[in-house]
A and B are shown apart, each in its own frame.
Chain A
Amino acid sequence: MEPSPVKKPFFTPTVIVLIILVVNALVWAFMRFVFGIGAVTNLNNQYPWGIWIGIDVAAGVALAAGGFTTSALAHIFHKEHFHDIVRPALLTAMLGYTFVGMGVFFDLGRYYNIWHVMIFWNGNSVLFEVGICVMAYLTVLYIEFLPIVTDRFIGRVNFRGILSKLNSMIDTLLRFVDRSLSKIMFFFIILGVVLSCLHQSSLGTLMILAGPKVHPLWQSPISPLLFLLSAISVGFPMVIMESIISSRSFGLKSEMDVLSSLGRYVGPLLGIYLAFKIGDMAVRQTFVHLTEINAASIMWIIEVLLGVVIPMRMFFWDKVLTSKPLIFTAAILVIFGVLMNRINTFIVSYTPLYATEVYWPSIGEISITIGFVALEILLYRTLVMIFPVISQPLERIRLKTKFAAKGVIR
């Protein structure tokens, strides 16, 4: 089974809705850059960070963890069985991180100075570490995606007219890139995993500096470890969710055997995460905060019960692993849990010293966040139609070779 570009009509009712959401976000984006952050957000000196950081960046990075986890599984631990899911996971990670960068860009007051990060290093700053690792990892992701591009165009460069002279030259270049990359790709694969481990955990260190402003349920000295463990456990559920949705949307059969063997890893991974989370709670005795009923304790219980405990139990159950709707539900719950955790750590648990109000995202902030997600899905759809990302079921391929032999399909 080889990956190939998906051939389906681009427009569906869902796609139209997504386009509308993107257009709405564009209007707000225009306002943000013309009138400033204050004009479209509810941010102020009490609440300097809102959902653009909490969701677009913190949760975005965590939910793009499918990229490094599958690449580690397939390439480093060399589980050939999972090769088919590496490309879709890579594409999602690449798009995910691109939008993390966009989210940061929107949130920065002096976005045009973003390149300062590469020049003026502050080795003591956690944010610097996150920033530089994310930038480096994004580059690695683009490099890892390059072979897919060469794969698509080698032997297919076909300019017409005056440019046709370039065809063989470009083809040679592509082949050269492809050959050199395949020799050193292992380096970028390992580098990608290392960079991911670094910034996934550093994201958890970010809010430690906020000290008592962060609620003790989330303010933990082992927060970096918890962030890393939760990112690792959300990687495969993301892949499972995407695979099921995209095969449904393209009318392909999803490969349940691959997904269920992938699902087998999730239970133990969530178990490790939960053990550290509860262990940390026991050591620091923060469970006392659960005895009072308030926003923090309710959110904590939702996050842990619905987002960790229940899906963990589900992933340990063979019936769930073999049923498409059940494994999908379990995956969604894990994703929900990690999303909640990031929102809780960065937004819900943050109480300014001199709070006179409570932060709630504005229409503009929500619109732009939703617009990013919509655009990401649209780009994913576009790219899998152009590039060989998704491995399609055997019958189609067989059909194709049959007709190709007859010269019907080239």
Chain B
Amino acid sequence: MANSSRRDFFKTLGIIGAGAAGLKTKSAGAAPVKIVSDNRMGVLVDTTVCIGCRRCEFACKEAHNLPTGNIEDYDNRTVFEQMRRPDTKALTVVNEYPGTDKKSGPINVKVQCMHCDHPACVSACIVGAFSKQENGSVIWDESLCIGCRYCIVACPFQIPAFEYEKAIEPEIRKCDFCWERTKKGLLPACVNICPVEALTYGKRYELIQEAHKRIEKNPDRYIDHVLGETEVGGTSWLYLANKDFKEMDFPKLDDKPAPGATESLQHAIFAYFLPPAMLFSLLGGIMWLNRKSEENE
């Protein structure tokens, strides 16, 4: 018995080896789209220009078939008394912060998904429902999502929102960089409606040059920091401001892409399925030796 089972033993080991090799190719093929094209688009948000008219909130809802309410209601500035976050019914919101001094007036900051270059949500999603598109957009594929909400846990900007109130087909909602509009060559709805050109749509690298040019020309108007240029490995949306971003509720983040640590750990454990296969052989060897010593006794 012992002999035949030992032969089986090695035969099976061979089969696993082959199986593991097969698995590897399959998982590589199905990995999520993660192209970071040099020509990817972005938006430069100049918070020193924004007047807090909230037209962008209105346009966004309209573009995404969400209930908009009356456009006059958006002139109501009492909503600024509380900090608001994007949620399933408003993919972008504008907040207000006190200005640097009495004369300069309040600062308004539009908030939405940053469309990271190395998005944590894309790395996290168990089924690859999130993807970074060539034009820079990070979008969500309804047909894949299983509603695990790991994307929300992962996002370094607390952006994706989930429809907790729905029992069936709850959605993950976040700004999709107007994926449907830009495909047709239209501007993102918010950029399109903004009356003061606080939002500039363009190629990301050009926007970065433009941002630095503005800082250089008006060093009094801006602090020397383009938020999103390097944060979490870079984002498609970029911000200019005249005071520290931390005072406007931006999270303090370092320049390493958020998914860096987990992905390298993950890949170390699964490098060509070698570590698991080695562990398997090691355990197999121990088992075999122990059986053998038993027989010899």
Interface residues of A (CB under 8 A from B): 33-39, 41, 43-46, 48-49, 72, 75-78, 104, 107-111, 113-114, 116-117, 120-129, 131, 183-184, 186-187, 189-191, 193-194, 197-198, 201-202, 205-213, 221, 224, 352-354
CA distance A36 to B162 in the complex (A): 12
Determine the residue in chain A with the shortest Cβ distance to B281: A190
For residue B164, which residue of chain A has the nearest CB?
A: A38
Chain B residues at the A interface, C-beta cutoff of 8 Å: 4-5, 8-9, 12, 16, 26-28, 30-32, 83, 85, 87, 120, 122-129, 144-150, 152-154, 156-158, 160-170, 249, 251-253, 258-259, 261-263, 265-266, 269-270, 276, 279-280, 283-284, 286-287, 290-291, 294
Could you say which residues of chain A place their CB within 8 Å of the CB of B83? 354
A34 to B147, CA, bound (A): 16
Least CB distance from B82 to A in Å reads 9
A-B contacts, 15 of them at CB < 8 A, read: A39-B167, A45-B161, A104-B148, A109-B162, A109-B164, A113-B144, A116-B146, A122-B31, A122-B126, A123-B30, A124-B263, A186-B284, A194-B280, A208-B262, A354-B85
Contacts of A109 in B (CB 8 A): 145-149, 162-164, 166, 170
Residues of chain A contacted by B280 (CB below 8 angstroms): 190-191, 194
Complex Cα spacing A186 to B8, Å: 10
Q: How far is the CB of B96 from chain A (nearest CB, A)?
A: 16
Residue in contact with A122 in the complex, picked from B128, B284, B287, CB distance below 8 Å? B128
Most buried by B among A39, A43, A111, A211: A211
Closest CB-CB distance, B78 to chain A, in whole Å?
18
CB distance from B93 to the nearest CB of A (A): 12
Q: Is the CB of A127 within 8 A of B146?
A: no
Interface centre among A43, A127, A201 (most CB of B within 10 A): A127
Give the docked Cα–Cα distance between A113 and B244 (Å): 44
A45-B127 CB under 8 A given contacts A183-B8, A211-B258: no
**Neighbour of B287 across the interface among A41, A125, A186, CB < 8 A:** A186
Select from chain B the residue with minimum beta-carbon distance to A115.
B146
Report the bound CA distance from A34 to B290 in whole Å.
Answer: 54
Nearest neighbor of A129 in chain B, beta-carbon distance: B266
A205 to B291 Cα, complex, angstroms: 35
Rounded to whole Å, the gap between the CB of B139 and the closest CB of chain A is: 15
Given contacts A114-B146, A209-B153, A354-B158, 8 further A-B contacts (CB under 8 A): A45-B161, A107-B148, A117-B146, A122-B125, A124-B259, A187-B16, A212-B252, A221-B261
- Are B147 and A354 interface neighbours, CB within 8 A? no
Question: A226 to chain B: closest CB distance in Å?
Answer: 13
User: When the two chains form their complex, are residues B158 and A45 in contact, meaning their CB atoms are under 8 A apart?
Assistant: yes
Complexed CA–CA distance, A76 and B87 (Å): 52
The answer to whether A124 touches B266 (Cβ under 8 A) is yes
Flag if B269 contacts A201 (CB, 8 Å). Answer: yes
Most A C-beta atoms less than 10 A away, residue of B87, B147, B157, B263: B147
B270/A123 in contact, CB under 8 A = yes
Which of A122, A208, A353 meets B265, CB within 8 Å? Answer: A208
Q: Which of B5, B85, B147, B287 contacts A108 (CB 8 A)?
A: B147
Supposing A76-B287, A208-B265 touch, asked if A186 and B127 sit within 8 A by C-beta, the answer is no
On whether A128 and B126 interact (CB within 8 A), knowing A187-B12, A205-B262, A353-B251, the answer reads yes
* Chain B minimum-CB-distance residue to A107: B148
How far, in angstroms, from A407 to B124 measured CA to CA in the complex?
64
Chain B residues closer than 8 Å to A41, beta-carbon distance: 164
A292 CB to nearest chain B CB (Å): 19
Shortest B124–chain A CB gap in Å is 6
CB distance from A180 to the nearest CB of B (A): 10
**Is A49 in contact with B153, judged by CB distance below 8 angstroms?**
yes
Cross-chain contact B165 with A353 (CB below 8 angstroms): no
A183 to B286, alpha carbons, bound, how many Å? 18
Contact among A43, A110, A114 with B164 in the assembled complex (CB-CB below 8 Å)? A43
Q: Which 4 A-B pairs have the closest CB atoms?
A: A109-B147, A38-B164, A78-B290, A48-B149
Q: How far is the CB of A381 from chain B (nearest CB, A)?
A: 32
Closest Cβ of chain A to B147, distance in Å, is 2
Q: How far is the CA of A201 from the CA of B279 in the complex (A)?
A: 14
Q: Which interface residue of A37, A131, A212, A224 has the most chain B CB atoms within 10 A?
A: A37
Determine whether the beta carbon of A194 is less than 8 Å from that of B283: yes
- Contacts A37-B164, A186-B5, A353-B157; A129 near B270 (Cβ below 8 A): yes
Q: Is the CB of B276 within 8 A of A194?
A: yes
Find B283's partner among A37, A72, A123, A209 (CB 8 Å cutoff). Answer: A72
Chain A: which residue is nearest B156 at the CB level?
A: A211
Which residues on the A side are within 8 Å of B87 (C-beta)?
A: 45
Give the shortest distance, in Å, between A61 (CB) and chain B (any CB): 15
Q: How far is the CA of A121 from the CA of B270 in the complex (A)?
A: 14
Instruction: Compute how far the CA of A37 lies from the CA of B8 in the bound complex, rounded to whole angstroms.
Output: 49
- The answer to whether residues A48 and B153 also contact, given A121-B30, A129-B270, A353-B158 and a CB cut-off of 8 A, is yes
Contact of B167 among A34, A107, A125, A127 (CB under 8 A): A34
Instruction: State in angstroms the CA–CA spacing of A191 and B20 once bound together.
Output: 12
A191: which B residues are within 8 A, CB to CB? 16, 280
Residue numbers in A under 8 Å from B16 (CB-CB): 187, 191
Contact residue among A120, A193, A224 (Cβ-Cβ distance under 8 Å from B128) = A120
Q: In the docked arrangement, what's the CA distance between A34 and B168, Å?
A: 8
The answer to whether B125 and A125 touch across the interface, beta carbons within 8 angstroms, is yes
Give Cα A167–Cα B182 distance, bound, in whole angstroms: 68
Known: A78-B290, A125-B126, A354-B85. A33 touches B8 (CB 8 A): no
Contact indicator A77/B162 (Cβ below 8 Å): no
Nearest CB of A to B31, in Å: 5
State in angstroms the CA–CA spacing of A124 and B123 once bound together. Answer: 6
